[in-house]
Structure 1
Amino acid sequence: MGTLGWPEVQQASLMTTSFLGSALRGTFFFIFGLWWSVKYPLRYLRRKTNGESQLSYGVQRVEVFEGAVKAFFALTGILVEQFVPTGPHLQLYSPKTRSWTDLTHWHYTTMYLFFLLSGMVDIISHSPLKLPLGLDRLSLAVALLIEGLLFCFHDNTDAALDHHVHSLLTMAIFAGALCVLLEVFLRDHIILEIFRTSSFLLQGSWLWQIGFVLSPPWGGEGWDQTDHSNFTLLTMCFCWHYVGALAVLAANAAASRCCNESCQLKFGDIDVELDCGMCIRKGIKSSDSTLLPESPSDDK
């Protein structure tokens, strides 16, 4: 049996790293898409039922937590891209080779950087600083526009199939960016929120698809870059991915409706918020009021 030489082992390692990087980026978008697919339908149903117009303290804390998770994921992505064994380790230019160092890793580091800034703006927007309303959405739109710009000029080494799958990805990215830009002016619009959620789900699943197409985890060179039938199939797959995203949205929206109705039946007129402490305080106040004497004649 033959053994792999060092160049083959190095190439297999690079392919595995590329797949893991694509999977990491896809997981980042897919998790947020899943969370929003539950959050926004549930919040819409509660507002429709209770007529709430402003965010409660509990919901504001959830927004801060969401921004912190976004910033954490982005910071993790930056560290992974920079400090993997094949990463640049924060070195942009190599004096020895007189060339740029691993621009692909810097490419994704730049993308994560803007999502890190978006997460920080989310946190500050719900702090006592009181930033202008809509700035959090604007920062997310800028992050998506930067991501789309970077993927438009992604180094695909003249590989036609690589270019095709990333072009499909940029369609989902710019669609999400346009949606978030509209949310700056039309805040808390359920249709825009649902469309943004579907674009994130699509980005997440498609990034996983790109990993399997270009650098499969089991090794090999990936799909044939010259077979035009692969272009047709992947275009259809992109549409199927969006159908899957819509199916996830519908399922989670239905689950949110059932959850909202069960909470209404269980708690009745009690305003059930994400901040459970509000319900506890209401229960304490009501129990204290029942202990008060009804009239002065009860005192002996």
Structure 2
Amino acid sequence: MANFKGHALPAVFFIIFGLWWCLKYSLKYHSRRLNKNGPGNHWFSRIEITEGAVKIIFSVIGMLAEQFVPDGPHLYLYSGDPHTWMKLMNWQHTTMYLFFCISGIMDVLTYTSFQVPIGLDRLMLSVALFVEGFLFYFHVMSRPLLDQLIHSLLLIAIFGAAASVLLETFLRDNIVLELLRSSLALLQGTWLFQIGFVLFPPWGGPAWDANDHGNIMFLIMCFCWHYALAIVILAMNYAVAYRVVQKCCTNKGGTEIKLAKRKENEKSSRIALLKGSDED
């Protein structure tokens, strides 16, 4: 959708998944490092299935929103009278959501079926991100320079995330790659909001002047600030996950010590009773 809402919807999608990924992978990494007897792969597999289902739901909502908004194509690709294509921008966004839906389906199949090789979930997510970048690359051809610039900056985050996830296909459970993907997902989300504010100000004001060089310089600098914000959010989630896992390990360790002492006391009491019986 060529409006602010059309950019806000995928922005929310990427921000939610970016926050979730950085928290999930931080918890997974710290739980394996600090708690060797912690929850195994089965627990995290259930999370992956749930995540895939949520991805499918979000993608379906996105496709329906692109098609059935009042000014949407309503599943018509070509109009016979006059002979024109119908809302191709909406169709491009629908295609992007379609591949993320396929990625969600692959997530569910990977962790519910032994017939699907591990790694195809990451590969399909990489393909979905690549398709998103491919569509955006040709999305802004012949547009004003400012419009091309802000979408070109978005391509850095998209193709960076696609490359990172492709490496995850072969380097499974690599916390550095997982956090990189999380930060780039956050960057995509916040920058999509920025694009919406620049091109379609929600308060109804005019779009930014495409011929003002100062606007171009500011947006390049602003893109770096967005990534700095993503890194700060990532670091906060990482620290919170560490504290949570550390606290859980401490509480579990204390409980195990108390149980061991209780068993030892019960054993001592039984021995004392047996000795007393023998003396009698």
- Structure 2 match to 1:9: none
- Residue 77 (structure 1) aligned with residue 62 (structure 2): yes
- Structure 1 match to 2:185: 200
Deviates more, 1:175-184 or 1:220-229: 220-229
**Aligned partner of 1:127 among 108, 112, 117:** 112
> TM-score scaled by structure 2?
0.88
Distance 2:3 2:92 in 1: 13
- Residue 92 (structure 1) aligned with residue 58 (structure 2): no
- Structure 1 match to 2:277: none
For each residue in 1:67-115, what CA deviation from the matched residue of structure 2 results, as whole angstroms up to 9, or x when unmatched? 0001110110000000000100000000011010000000100000000
Normalized per residue, the structure richer in helix is 2
Say whether the 8 Å CA contact 2:35–2:249 is kept in structure 1.
no
- Structure 2 match to 1:253: 238
- In the alignment of these two chains, the number of paired residues is 264
For each residue in 1:23-57, what CA deviation from the matched residue of structure 2 results, as whole angstroms up to 9, or x when unmatched? 11100000000001111111101111234799532
Distance 1:55 1:182 in 2: 23
Poorly superposed stretches of 4+, deviation over 6 Å: none
Q: Over aligned residues, Cα RMSD in angstroms?
A: 2.4
Say whether the 8 Å CA contact 2:34–2:249 is kept in structure 1.
no
Distance 1:130 1:262 in 2: 38
- Equivalent position amino acid for 1:219 in 2: G
- Equivalent position amino acid for 1:22 in 2: H
For each residue in 1:201-236, what CA deviation from the matched residue of structure 2 results, as whole angstroms up to 9, or x when unmatched? 000000000000000111133100110111110000
Distance 1:164 1:137 in 2: 29
- Residue 147 (structure 1) aligned with residue 132 (structure 2): yes
Distance 1:193 1:169 in 2: 19
- Structure 2 match to 1:223: 208
Flag the structure with larger Rg. 2
- Structure 1 match to 2:92: 107
Unaligned segments of structure 2, at least 5 residues: 260-265, 275-280
Say whether the 8 Å CA contact 1:104–1:155 is kept in structure 2.
no
- Residue 21 (structure 1) aligned with residue 19 (structure 2): no
- Structure 2 match to 1:30: 15
Distance 1:109 1:227, change over 3 A: same
- Equivalent position amino acid for 1:43 in 2: K
Say whether the 8 Å CA contact 2:34–2:245 is kept in structure 1.
no
- Residue 160 (structure 1) aligned with residue 145 (structure 2): yes
Distance 1:88 1:270 in 2: 61
- Equivalent position amino acid for 2:152 in 1: S
Distance 1:59 1:203 in 2: 26
Distance 1:72 1:191, change over 3 A: same
Q: Percent identity?
A: 50
CA displacement at 1:192 relative to structure 2: 0.3
Distance 1:52 1:130, change over 3 A: farther
Say whether the 8 Å CA contact 1:82–1:89 is kept in structure 2.
yes
